[in-house]
Amino acid sequence: MADTLELETVEYVVTDAVASIALNRPEKYNAFNMQVHQDLTKALKHAERDRSVRAVLLTGRGRGFCAGQDLTEFSMSRADPDFRVDEHVRRTFNRIIHTIRGLELPVIAAINGVAAGAGWSLALAADIRIASDGASFTQAFSKIGLIPDTGSTWFLPELIGTSRTLQLMFTGDAIDAKTALEWGLVNEIVAADVLDEHAHAYAARLAAMPTRALGLTKRAVYRATTVGLDDALEYEAQLQQHAAATSDHVEGVTAFLEKRAAEFTGR
């Protein structure tokens, strides 16, 4: 499959088995208009189908990571009497979140700047978040009379509990990268000028690991947050059966016994 895709608002390139997907509407802080929805969905689906891709890196170009829904387009949609927000959200934002969570690959968000509204939800959908020291985060929704969507009502309480979640959602106040790290909302912070390189190296490291095992791990961990221990134990056993059938499993054990570094292929 192609290592690059020609898209209007999203850059897509594969290197070192990492699909780097960058939102590219810098003048609008990468806000979601319909073109971004379409292009991001296409890029994620392409990565999902490409067997050579073993990790996904999500970032934004310019000063923002993503400012959520484009409010200019939003005002136009509100002028259309037939426009239904619920249908729009299901077809666009929700589809993207489902795709990211369903990808059986590590997804790393490199948060290069402000993440607002659904843009923050997008970052929260990733498995690992690395923020630049200049990044900031705001729920933003309450400031325009909306409720948080695109998964924020699920992601945030999961990570920081209900009280801090509601504080952020009610006020719409921004938090900086340092606070996000202290609260466990990002995995690490790095200087802005090394973010791309650092995040890519991180993604490439995960891409060189046993992809199937990592994908099944992701599936088991997210499912475990919705079920009891008995169910989680049983599901782990079922997925372990699949992981144990991979060549990477054989290679990992063989390499350990032969006292050498394993060479995983993703199969």
- Contacts with ligand T3D, residue ranges (CB under 6 A): 28-29, 31, 67-72, 74, 85, 88-89, 114, 116-118, 138, 140-141, 144, 146, 149
Q: Residue 189 CB, nearest distance to ligand T3D (Å)?
A: 18
Q: Residue 115 CB, nearest distance to ligand T3D (Å)?
A: 8
Is 92 in contact with 120 (CB distance < 8 Å)? Answer: no
Q: Residue 231 CB, nearest distance to ligand T3D (Å)?
A: 33
Alpha helices in 50-151 (DSSP H): 71-78, 85-89, 95-102, 118-125
Nearer to ligand T3D, 63 or 223 (CB): 63
Nearer to ligand T3D, 117 or 210 (CB): 117
Largest CA distance in the chain: 68
How many CB atoms are closer than 10 A to CB 128?
Answer: 18
Q: Residue 193 CB, nearest distance to ligand T3D (Å)?
A: 19
Nearer to ligand T3D, 17 or 118 (CB): 118
Nearer to ligand T3D, 88 or 101 (CB): 88
The one-letter amino acid code at 11 reads E
Is 178 in contact with 134 (CB distance < 8 Å)? Answer: no
Nearer to ligand T3D, 42 or 88 (CB): 88
Q: Residue 158 CB, nearest distance to ligand T3D (Å)?
A: 19
Strand 18-23 to strand 64-66: parallel, antiparallel, or no bridges (unpaired)? unpaired
Q: Which DSSP string corresponds to 179-207?
A: HHHHTTSSSEEE-GGGHHHHHHHHHHHHH
The conformation of residue 134, written as its DSSP 8-state character, comes to T
